[in-house]
Structure 1
Amino acid sequence: MLNSLGAKVESSAFIGKIDIKGKGKLLSIGAHSSISTGVHLALHDEILIGNCVVINSGSHLLTGTHSLRDSMWPLTSKPIVVCDFAWIATNSIILPGVTIGEGAVVGAGAVVSRNVPPYAIVAGNPAVEVGIRTKNLSYKPVNQCAPFEAWIGKL
C-alpha cells in the first residue's frame, strides 16, 4: 500500500497500520525493518529508515515544526534519518532534523531533538545518553516477529 503512495519500501519490511500525513514519496523503508501499528509519520520532509530497524507503537517521527518567533507560525521542515539496526521504543518522539545512528536505541517515551550517535542508548525528555549498545548486531526484526505475526493471523 505504501508503494502506491510513492514510498520506497523494501518487500521484506513489515509495516503495521501506521498513520501517515504528508507526501508518501518522502518515505523510504529498508529491508527487514519492522514498523508497528500506531506509529505516526509526518512527511513534510524525508524520513529515511534503514535496514533492520524497529519502530514500536505510539512513536512519532515529525519532520515539520512551526517557528514560534514569527507571528505567522510558518512551517519549517528537516529530514529524519534512522540508520541500520536502530530501535525506537514505544511512544518516542523524534523531532525534525534528527539522525538516529546505526545500532542506537531510543528508550520508551523519549523526546529526541538532537542526533543520536551510533550504538548510543538514549532516554528521557529531553533524550540524553544513558549507555552504549553492543556493536555486534546481525538480527532481522521481521524474522523475529514472524511467529507472533503468524499467531495473530498477519502472515
Structure 2
Amino acid sequence: MASEDAPLIVGSYCSVASGVQFYCKSGHVHDCATSFPIHFCVLKQPAPAASLGKRKGIHVGHDVWIGRNAAIMPGVKIGDGAVIGAHAVVARDVPPYAVATGNPAKVVKYRFDDQVISKLLTIRWWDWDEGKIKREAEALTGPIDDFVTRHFRAPRQQ
C-alpha cells in the first residue's frame, strides 16, 4: 500500500494486469526475535513505527507492462518500457526496456538493442500530446526501426 512516506509512482501509458500487488512498505521485520506481528495479533494495538519495517516507495516508469499477479516489492524502480512477466516477484530494480520474469525476477532479455533503447529514451514518446500520439499511432505500433528512424533526432552538440 502506498502512502505519503512510501509513494507509488506510475508513469504514463502503463499496462497493469489484474492481481498485481505493489508493496510500498515492507510488512514484517526480520531483525527482531520474532517476525510475527505480536502488537497487532496478541496485544490488539497498533505496532510501534520501528516495528513496521522499511518504508520505501515504488517507481514504475512510462510504457511499462506488468503481467498478472506480479508482486512489486518496496523500493523497486522499474525503468521505462520494461516488461514484467506474470507471477514475477520483483525485488530489485529493472532497467529500461528489460524483460524480467520469475521469483525472484531476473532480466531474461531486453526488448531492443542498446542503441535503440538509447534512442527511445531520448524520443520519450509518452511526453507527446494526445493529438500527436493519435497521429503517430501506426508508427508507435509498427516496426521499431521505422519508428526510431522517423522520430530520433540526435542531441545537438554545444
- What TM bracket, shorter-length normalisation? 0.5 to 0.7
Task: Deviation per CA, 1:3-49: give whole Å up to 9, x if none.
Answer: xxxxxxxxxxxxxxxxxx564xx4xxxxxxxxxxxxxxxxx610000
Picking from 20, 25, 30, the partner of 1:59 is 20
Picking from 76, 81, 86, the partner of 1:103 is 81
Rate the CA distance shift 1:22–1:79 in 2: closer, same or farther, 3 A.
closer
Give me the whole-angstrom Cα distance separating, in 2, the residues matched to 1:61 and 1:129: 19
* SS of equivalent to 1:48: strand
TM-superposed deviation, 1:122: 0.3
Rate the CA distance shift 1:84–1:22 in 2: closer, same or farther, 3 A.
closer
Query: Larger Rg: 1 or 2?
Result: 2
Structure 1 regions of 5+ residues with no counterpart? Answer: 1-20, 27-43, 145-155
TM-superposed deviation, 1:71: 3.5
Picking from 70, 75, 80, the partner of 2:32 is 70
After TM superposition, the structure 1 = structure 2 runs for residues 6-155 of structure 1, keeping only pairs within 5 Å, are 21=1, 23=3, 26=4, 45-65=6-26, 66-71=28-33, 73=35, 74-75=51-52, 76-134=54-112, 135=117, 136=120, 138=125
Normalised to the residue count of structure 1, the TM-score between the two structures is: 0.59
Partner of 1:13: none
User: Which is richer in helix?
Assistant: 2
Tell me how large the CA RMSD over aligned residues is.
Answer: 2.5
Normalised to the residue count of structure 2, the TM-score between the two structures is: 0.58
User: Which is richer in strand?
Assistant: 1
Bigger relative contact order, structure 1 or 2 (CA pairs below 8 A, ≥6 apart): 2
TM-superposed deviation, 1:91: 0.5
Structure 2 regions of 5+ residues with no counterpart? Answer: 36-50, 138-158
| Corresponding residue pairs, total | 103
